[in-house]
Structure 1
Amino acid sequence: MSYLERIAIHTGGWRQALQVEAIHWKSGQPLTEDYIHRFDKVGDLFDYNPWEAAGWQERADWLDKERSGGADRNALSEALIRFNTAIGGSEATIRQAELLKDRRTLCIVGGQQASLFTGPLLVIYKAITLIQTAKQASDKLKRPVVPVFWIAGEDHDFDEVNHFHYLSSDLKVEKVKLEHPTGLRTSVSQTVIPHEQWEEALAQMEQSLMPTEFRAELMASLRSMADSSTSLVDYFARIMAKLFGAYGLVFVDSDDPHIRRLESPMFQQLVERSDAIHSALLKGKERVLSGGYQPQAELHDRGANLFVYDGGERILLYPAEDGNGFTDRRGERRYSREYLADLAESSPERLSNNVMTRPLMQDYLFPVLGAVLGRSEIAYWGLTREAFHLLGMRMPLLLPRLEFTLLEGTVQKNMKKFDLSLEDVLFRLEDKQQGWLREQDQLNLEERFGEVKSRFKDSYEPLIEAIGGINPGLRKLGETNLGKIIEQIEFLKQKSEDGMRSQFESGIRQFERIGMSLIPGGKPQERVFNIASYINKYGEGWLKELLELPLEPDGKHRVCYI
Structure 2
Amino acid sequence: MNVVQEPLQSGQPLAESYLSDYEAVEHLYGGGYPANERSWTARLQWLDQTEHLRAGRKELVSRLREYNERLNPEAAVMSSLSRLEQPGTVVIAGGQQSGLFTGPLLVIYKAATIIKAAERAASLLGRDVVPVFWIAGEDHDWDEVNHTYVLSPSLEVSRIRIPREEGRRGPVSHTTVSEEEWNHAATELERLLPDGEFKADLLQQLRDTLAVSGSLTDAFARLLGTWFGKYGLILLDSADPALRRLEAPMFEAMIRSNDELESAYHAASKEIAAQGFHPQAEVAEGGANLFYVFEGERLLLFKREGRFVDRKGLVSFTPNELLDELHSHPERFSNNVLTRPVMQDYLLPVLGSVLGNGEIAYWALTGKAFELLQLRMPILLPRMSFTVMDDKLQKHMDKYGLTWEDVMDHAVFDRIKAAWLARQDQLRLVEQFEDMKRAFAGMYDPLIGQLGSVEKGLLKLGGANKAKIIEQMDFMQTRVRDALERSNETGLRHFDRIELTLFPQRKPQERVFNIFAYLNRYGFDWIDRLMEVPYDMMGHHRMIYM
TM-score by length of 1: 0.91
Contact 1:181 1:192 in 2 (8 A): no
Instruction: Give yes or no for the alignment of 1:503 onto 2:477.
Output: no
Please give the alpha-carbon distance, in whole angstroms, between the structure 1 residues aligned to 2:363 and 2:274. Answer: 16
Counterpart of 1:43 in structure 2 is 26
Please give the alpha-carbon distance, in whole angstroms, between the structure 2 residues aligned to 1:238 and 1:57. Answer: 34
- Secondary structure of the structure 1 residue equivalent to 2:139: coil
Written as runs of structure 1 = structure 2, the 5 A alignment for 1:224-303 is: 224-303=208-287
Counterpart of 2:542 in structure 1 is 558
User: Deviation at 1:314?
Assistant: 1.9
With over 3 angstroms needed to count, the CA separation of the structure-2 counterparts of 1:476 and 1:375, relative to structure 1, is same
With over 3 angstroms needed to count, the CA separation of the structure-2 counterparts of 1:179 and 1:437, relative to structure 1, is closer
Contact 1:181 1:194 in 2 (8 A): no
Counterpart of 1:184 in structure 2 is 168
Instruction: Give yes or no for the alignment of 1:517 onto 2:501.
Output: yes
With over 3 angstroms needed to count, the CA separation of the structure-2 counterparts of 1:68 and 1:463, relative to structure 1, is same
The more displaced of 80-89 and 343-352 is 343-352
With over 3 angstroms needed to count, the CA separation of the structure-2 counterparts of 1:211 and 1:472, relative to structure 1, is same
Please give the alpha-carbon distance, in whole angstroms, between the structure 2 residues aligned to 1:103 and 1:56. Answer: 18
Letter in 2 for 1:74: K
With over 3 angstroms needed to count, the CA separation of the structure-2 counterparts of 1:233 and 1:467, relative to structure 1, is closer
With over 3 angstroms needed to count, the CA separation of the structure-2 counterparts of 1:450 and 1:196, relative to structure 1, is closer
Please give the alpha-carbon distance, in whole angstroms, between the structure 2 residues aligned to 1:354 and 1:29. Answer: 21
Aligned match for 1:368, one of 338, 341, 350: 350
Aligned match for 2:9, one of 12, 26, 37: 26
Please give the alpha-carbon distance, in whole angstroms, between the structure 2 residues aligned to 1:333 and 1:477. Answer: 68
Instruction: Give yes or no for the alignment of 1:102 onto 2:72.
Output: no
Aligned match for 1:56, one of 36, 40, 48: 40
With over 3 angstroms needed to count, the CA separation of the structure-2 counterparts of 1:143 and 1:457, relative to structure 1, is same
- Secondary structure of the structure 2 residue equivalent to 1:49: coil
With over 3 angstroms needed to count, the CA separation of the structure-2 counterparts of 1:473 and 1:206, relative to structure 1, is closer
Written as runs of structure 1 = structure 2, the 5 A alignment for 1:319-330 is: 319=303, 321-323=304-306, 325-330=307-312
User: Deviation at 1:469?
Assistant: 6.8
- Secondary structure of the structure 2 residue equivalent to 1:548: coil
Contact 2:352 2:379 in 1 (8 A): yes
Please give the alpha-carbon distance, in whole angstroms, between the structure 2 residues aligned to 1:462 and 1:254. Answer: 76
With over 3 angstroms needed to count, the CA separation of the structure-2 counterparts of 1:468 and 1:558, relative to structure 1, is same
Counterpart of 2:200 in structure 1 is 216
Please give the alpha-carbon distance, in whole angstroms, between the structure 2 residues aligned to 1:198 and 1:291. Answer: 48
Please give the alpha-carbon distance, in whole angstroms, between the structure 2 residues aligned to 1:225 and 1:463. Answer: 77
User: Deviation at 1:408?
Assistant: 2.4
The more displaced of 532-541 and 329-338 is 329-338
Please give the alpha-carbon distance, in whole angstroms, between the structure 2 residues aligned to 1:88 and 1:265. Answer: 28
TM-score by length of 2: 0.94
Please give the alpha-carbon distance, in whole angstroms, between the structure 2 residues aligned to 1:480 and 1:259. Answer: 74
Aligned match for 1:197, one of 169, 181, 205: 181
Contact 2:352 2:378 in 1 (8 A): yes
Please give the alpha-carbon distance, in whole angstroms, between the structure 2 residues aligned to 1:128 and 1:473. Answer: 75
- Secondary structure of the structure 1 residue equivalent to 2:531: helix
Counterpart of 1:335 in structure 2 is 317
Aligned match for 1:416, one of 368, 392, 398: 398
Contact 1:67 1:393 in 2 (8 A): no
Contact 1:289 1:295 in 2 (8 A): yes
Counterpart of 1:390 in structure 2 is 372
- Secondary structure of the structure 1 residue equivalent to 2:214: coil
* CA RMSD between the two structures: 2.1
Aligned match for 1:121, one of 105, 110, 113: 105
Aligned match for 1:164, one of 145, 148, 155: 148
- Secondary structure of the structure 2 residue equivalent to 1:110: strand
Counterpart of 1:378 in structure 2 is 360
User: Deviation at 1:476?
Assistant: 6.0
User: Deviation at 1:43?
Assistant: 1.5
User: Deviation at 1:457?
Assistant: 4.6
With over 3 angstroms needed to count, the CA separation of the structure-2 counterparts of 1:344 and 1:456, relative to structure 1, is closer
Please give the alpha-carbon distance, in whole angstroms, between the structure 2 residues aligned to 1:158 and 1:490. Answer: 46
Contact 1:111 1:151 in 2 (8 A): yes
Written as runs of structure 1 = structure 2, the 5 A alignment for 1:129-144 is: 129-144=113-128
Counterpart of 2:73 in structure 1 is 89
Aligned match for 2:383, one of 401, 404, 423: 401
Letter in 2 for 1:417: K
User: Deviation at 1:463?
Assistant: 5.6
User: Deviation at 1:542?
Assistant: 2.9
With over 3 angstroms needed to count, the CA separation of the structure-2 counterparts of 1:158 and 1:466, relative to structure 1, is closer
User: Deviation at 1:168?
Assistant: 2.2
- Secondary structure of the structure 2 residue equivalent to 1:305: strand
- Secondary structure of the structure 1 residue equivalent to 2:377: coil
Q: Percent identity?
A: 45
Counterpart of 1:538 in structure 2 is 522
Letter in 2 for 1:271: I
Gaps in structure 2 of 5+ consecutive residues: none
With over 3 angstroms needed to count, the CA separation of the structure-2 counterparts of 1:466 and 1:36, relative to structure 1, is same
With over 3 angstroms needed to count, the CA separation of the structure-2 counterparts of 1:260 and 1:497, relative to structure 1, is same
- Secondary structure of the structure 2 residue equivalent to 1:452: helix
User: Deviation at 1:464?
Assistant: 5.7
Please give the alpha-carbon distance, in whole angstroms, between the structure 2 residues aligned to 1:155 and 1:509. Answer: 39
Please give the alpha-carbon distance, in whole angstroms, between the structure 2 residues aligned to 1:22 and 1:44. Answer: 30
Letter in 2 for 1:207: R
Contact 1:26 1:33 in 2 (8 A): no
With over 3 angstroms needed to count, the CA separation of the structure-2 counterparts of 1:453 and 1:257, relative to structure 1, is closer
With over 3 angstroms needed to count, the CA separation of the structure-2 counterparts of 1:183 and 1:484, relative to structure 1, is closer
Please give the alpha-carbon distance, in whole angstroms, between the structure 2 residues aligned to 1:473 and 1:338. Answer: 82
Please give the alpha-carbon distance, in whole angstroms, between the structure 2 residues aligned to 1:332 and 1:216. Answer: 49
Aligned match for 2:426, one of 433, 442, 456: 442
- Secondary structure of the structure 2 residue equivalent to 1:294: coil
Please give the alpha-carbon distance, in whole angstroms, between the structure 1 residues aligned to 2:276 and 2:333. Answer: 35
Contact 1:241 1:249 in 2 (8 A): yes
User: Deviation at 1:479?
Assistant: 5.4
With over 3 angstroms needed to count, the CA separation of the structure-2 counterparts of 1:481 and 1:354, relative to structure 1, is closer
- Secondary structure of the structure 2 residue equivalent to 1:103: coil
- Secondary structure of the structure 1 residue equivalent to 2:284: coil
With over 3 angstroms needed to count, the CA separation of the structure-2 counterparts of 1:477 and 1:277, relative to structure 1, is closer
Instruction: Give yes or no for the alignment of 1:429 onto 2:413.
Output: yes
Please give the alpha-carbon distance, in whole angstroms, between the structure 1 residues aligned to 2:296 and 2:431. Answer: 69
Letter in 2 for 1:175: R
- 1:277-329 per-position Cα deviation (integer Å, ceiling 9, x unaligned): 1111111111111111121111111011111222222222111x221x31111
Instruction: Give yes or no for the alignment of 1:358 onto 2:340.
Output: yes
- Secondary structure of the structure 2 residue equivalent to 1:304: strand
Contact 1:129 1:402 in 2 (8 A): yes
